[in-house]
Homo-oligomer: A and B are copies of this chain.
């Protein structure tokens, strides 16, 4: 833990650099140089060292995908910090890429890349129990079964992406572009989501406008509630945990928390930034 090192959370559209020392963040910077805007990764990495310090470096996220620098093969679940650390892809003596995790749970393939650092870190930092259900809402929401500190199974739902597509394109775009608030319309959407019948429930948003049964000011919140509600309903149907530990910013995390509570479970919002830091330090320590 005494050792200093650099960590980069390197996603598709942006990246964040951390300078870590004695388990603490002593420097950080964020920019929009995601993997899709980078051609020469070796030069970028040299630039990061030049800017911060010539230290060992761990890279996590899409930088290890087929659109990144080098492909770091997925580690199969169940996977904890030791398995992920053992799967590091070494670029050179002081640079390595953290692998993602894959599963074939119930014959359904699923993958994560980058999220594993936060998830395992949440356990390492004691932010969540070692046996828990975690959710990471976002464009592609991860739902993760953690057993004794290891990722034992997970499901990804493209809930955020569907909402974004519907807001931008197609029939509902003119209706659901507004602000989403955690109020009555959102909770009505969550309830509708329990039907698990998205294609029909979505058309209902149009029909409600035609028949004047819902104010269009509420349509975005209802649609968000519907999509998040269907996601939550599908996941909780097969999972008995009392509490869902949510790694997200307060706004999106709050919406998922409201949907989880509407299903009679508890929601606990976790500091995802602290979780990442704890996770990358643990991977470094065990590598």
Residues of A within 8 A of B (CB): 74, 102, 104, 108-111, 140-141, 155-159, 161-162, 164-166, 168-171, 192, 195-204, 206-208, 210-211, 213, 227, 230-231, 234
Chain B residues lying within 8 Å of A197, measured Cβ to Cβ, are 157, 196, 230, 234
A196 CB contacts on chain B under 8 angstroms? 196-197, 234
Choose one: B111, B199, B201; the contact of A211 (CB below 8 Å): B111
CB within 8 Å for A199 and B231 given contacts A165-B170, A211-B74? yes
Q: Which residues of B contact A168 (CB under 8 A)?
A: 169
Q: List 12 A-B contacts (CB under 8 A).
A: A74-B210, A109-B204, A109-B211, A111-B207, A111-B210, A111-B211, A140-B203, A141-B199, A156-B200, A158-B203, A162-B198, A199-B231
> What residues of chain B lie closer than 8 Å to A200, measured between beta carbons?
108, 155-158, 231, 234
* Distance, CA A227 to CA B199, complexed state (A): 8
Chain B residues with Cβ below 8 Å from A102 are 207, 210-211
Q: Are A230 and B199 in contact (CB under 8 A)?
A: yes
Cα distance, A195 to B213, chains bound together (Å): 30
Interface residue from B159, B169, B199, B227 paired with A158 (Cβ < 8 Å)? B199
Q: A102-B211, A165-B166, A166-B165 are in contact. Are A158 and B202 (CB under 8 A)?
A: yes
Q: Which of B141, B166, B199, B208 contacts A198 (CB 8 A)?
A: B199
Nearest chain B CB to A222's CB is how many angstroms away? 12
Shortest CB-to-CB span from A236 to chain B, Å, is 12
Asked if A170 and B166 make an inter-chain contact with CB atoms under 8 angstroms apart, the answer reads: no
Q: Within the assembled complex, what's the spacing in Å between the Cα atoms of A227 and B108?
A: 16
Complex CA gap A158/B169 in Å reads 13
The interface residues of chain B lying within 8 Å CB-to-CB of A157 are 197, 199-200, 203
In angstroms, Cα B156 to Cα A213, docked, is: 17
Scoring A104, A195, A197, A230 by chain B CB atoms within 10 A of each residue's CB, the highest score goes to A197
Closest B residue, CB atoms, query A161? B170
A207 to B168 Cα, complex, angstroms: 25
Q: Knowing A158-B199, A165-B170, A203-B140 touch, does A104 contact B230 (C-beta < 8 A)?
A: no
Q: Is the CB of B109 within 8 A of A213?
A: yes
Asked whether, in the complex, the Cβ of A207 is within 8 Å of the Cβ of B110, the reply is yes
**A111, A170, A203 interface centre (most CB from chain B within 10 Å):** A203
Pair A161/B171 contact, Cβ less than 8 Å: yes
Within 8 Å CB of A156, what residues of B?
Answer: 200, 203-204, 207
C-alpha spacing A18/B242, complex, angstroms: 62
A169 touching B169 in the complex, CB below 8 Å, given contacts A158-B203, A197-B234: yes
A195: B residues at CB distance < 8 A = 234
